Amino acid sequence: MKELAGKHIVLGLSGGVACYKSAELCRALIKEGATVQVVMTEAAAQFITPVTMQALSNRPVYGSQWDAREANNMPHINLSREADAILIAPCSADFVARLAQGRADELLSLLCLARPQERVPLLLAPAMNREMWAHPATQRNLAQVAQDGATVLAVGNGDQACGETGDGRMLEPAELLEEVIAFFTPKLLAGQKVLVTAGPTFESIDPVRGITNHSSGKMGFAIARAAREAGAEVTLVAGPVHLPTPRGVQRINVRSAQEMLAAAEPRAQQATVFIATAAVADWRPATQADQKIKKDGSGQTPVLGFVENPDILATVAQSPRARAGSLFCVGFAAESHDLLAHASAKRERKGVPLLVGNIGPATFGQDDNALLLVDATGHRELPRASKRTLARQLVAEIATRLPGRHA
């Protein structure tokens, strides 16, 4: 799936050591289907050569407003009119100041000023020393360009080229790609607060052993990302998985089913959508040993007693807010066989308007999946695709079912 297919991005580079990241960003944008036209300031060319960016973008790089290659000698007009978006990465403190002042004495700031604001968005990825970032003049300029219609992306925190550590680093190429994709995503869940549970739970037997399952959390994380891209405020309650947190998503890590319930239940009081993708253990050991249970050579196995874990989905779905229609609940069912029958029964039992079924052994740990949507009117399938694709389809489906929305 090329998520930026058909998009034409003007990638502007201003002066900063973060220009080295722009090379990888250019590749990433093109890999996702976008065409990229690079425009560089004179200062940017001190950090990375136009030859490098031309090779990566497969297009001539522009750097002068007097470029004679344009028949009308107006690259600032032609380049801005062709763009679906202008992304300045890196955007230095000096370039932010130029934009705030409406300067137009070199090509990149000139085409930003000349762009049709109503249809060509301007995205800025700041990159500078931590003191420059914190300076009142920079913050004042950033507030001004945002007021003028630019989208100012966040900065990273960490080691800087100068040897200092703090805020001001340009986001990594993968993070910027995620931001660009999110920017272009229709905001179907704007104003919604979405709570997602994801991954397995781990029920301890002793300090080194426990009961868990093969869930990787990939589906839940993909849904959290898709919901955030669709404009929602997203909280992700994650069991023990090793997955990066989607940008813009608040993550809460838990281990056991009881911990997951304790994290999810109060947050469901503020949510408008609850999506329970987590593969929660049905049972946990009745007691947990304080020390590792060892073999004693007798050949006798330890006897483990179990108690039933709380039902997180049913607990939330039966809450007053859910019953009143203020919280839309979506359940997941990972089955091994007879998917439609089991998913339909689970939907009735849990009391949720939408139940999403899948075959666990065919999806746990995989990057793709197939989903079965079951509601009060019947069922339909989402054919096998990447979990990323299915997450976006499911979010769109949920959006049509919310109060005041229509399919």
* CATH code for the domain in which residue 234 is found: 3.40.50.10300
- Say yes or no: 227 and 155 in one domain: no
* Final residue of a structural domain among 184, 201, 222: 184
Q: Is the dihedral of CA 163, 164, 166, 167 positive or negative?
A: negative
Lowest mean pLDDT among 66-70, 134-138, 188-192: 66-70
The reply to whether 1 falls in a domain is: no
- Say yes or no: 179 and 198 in one domain: no
- Say yes or no: 13 and 157 in one domain: yes
- Say yes or no: 252 and 343 in one domain: yes
Bridge partners, residue 159, by sequence = 165
Classify strands 273-276 and 328-335 as parallel, antiparallel or unpaired. Answer: parallel
For residue 63, name the pLDDT band (cuts at 50, 70, 90). very high
Token pair for 11:
């990638």
- Say yes or no: 132 and 214 in one domain: no
The reply to whether 205 falls in a domain is: yes
Buried b (16+ CB within 10 A) or exposed e, 13-29: bbbbbbbebbbebbebb
pLDDT value for 405: 63
User: Taking residues 122-135, what's their average pLDDT?
Assistant: 97
User: Taking residues 94-122, what's their average pLDDT?
Assistant: 96
CA proximity to 37, closest of 29, 46, 47: 29
User: Taking residues 260-285, what's their average pLDDT?
Assistant: 96
The reply to whether 279 falls in a domain is: yes
Classify strands 368-375 and 378-386 as parallel, antiparallel or unpaired. Answer: antiparallel
The share of the chain scoring above pLDDT 90, in percent, equals: 83
For residue 117, name the pLDDT band (cuts at 50, 70, 90). very high
Chain CA centroid to CA 240, Å: 19
- Say yes or no: 32 and 63 in one domain: yes
Q: Which residue bears the tokens 């689970």?
A: 346
Tally the domains of the chain: 2
Q: Is the pLDDT of residue 407 over 50?
A: no
* Final residue of a structural domain among 154, 184, 214: 184
Q: Is the pLDDT of residue 252 over 60?
A: yes
Give yes or no: 26 in active site: no
The reply to whether 406 falls in a domain is: no
Q: CB neighbours of 50 closer than 8 A, spacing ≥ 6?
A: 38, 40, 61, 63
In SS3 terms, 230-259 reads as: CCCEEEEEECCCCCCCCCCCEEEECCCHHH
- Say yes or no: 123 and 231 in one domain: no
Q: Is the dihedral of CA 261, 264, 270, 273 positive or negative?
A: negative
C-alpha to C-alpha distances, 138 to 94, 145, 152, 158, nearest whole angstrom = 9, 11, 12, 19
For residue 141, name the pLDDT band (cuts at 50, 70, 90). very high
Indicate the residue type of 78.
N
User: Taking residues 266-282, what's their average pLDDT?
Assistant: 96
Interatomic CA distance for residues 213 and 211, integer angstroms: 7
pLDDT value for 362: 63
pLDDT digits (tens, 9 = 90+) for 382-395: 999 999 999 999 99
pLDDT value for 342: 87
Name the average pLDDT for the chain.
94
Cis preceding linkage at 173, omega within 30: no
For residue 361, name the pLDDT band (cuts at 50, 70, 90). low
DSSP readout, 53-105? Answer: HHHHHTSPPB--TT-TTSTTS-HHHHHHHH-SEEEEEEE-HHHHHHHHHT--S
pLDDT value for 72: 87
The reply to whether 407 falls in a domain is: no
Among the listed residues 19, 91, 162, 329, the single catalytic one is 162
Query: Are the beta carbons of 23 and 17 closer than 8 angstroms?
Result: no
- Say yes or no: 300 and 391 in one domain: yes
The pTM assigned to this predicted structure is 0.91
pLDDT value for 69: 87
- Say yes or no: 140 and 55 in one domain: yes
User: Taking residues 31-51, what's their average pLDDT?
Assistant: 97
- Say yes or no: 145 and 214 in one domain: no
Q: Is the pLDDT of residue 287 over 70?
A: yes
- Say yes or no: 170 and 308 in one domain: no
Q: Is the pLDDT of residue 406 over 80?
A: no
Q: Is the pLDDT of residue 106 over 90?
A: yes
- Say yes or no: 108 and 208 in one domain: no
Q: Is the pLDDT of residue 230 over 60?
A: yes
Q: CB neighbours of 83 closer than 8 A, spacing ≥ 6?
A: 8, 9, 10, 37, 115, 120
Q: Is the pLDDT of residue 368 over 90?
A: no
Find the Cα–Cα–Cα–Cα dihedral 318, 319, 322, 328, rounded to 10°.
-80
Phi and psi at 221, nearest 5°, equal: -65, -40
Q: Is the pLDDT of residue 335 over 90?
A: no
- What is the extent of the structural domain holding 237? 193-401
For residue 337, name the pLDDT band (cuts at 50, 70, 90). confident
User: Taking residues 46-66, what's their average pLDDT?
Assistant: 96
CATH number at residue 72: 3.40.50.1950
User: Residue 209: which H helix or E strand, with range?
Assistant: strand 209-211
* Final residue of a structural domain among 144, 161, 184: 184
pLDDT value for 367: 85
Token pair for 93:
């403190």
User: Taking residues 159-164, what's their average pLDDT?
Assistant: 90
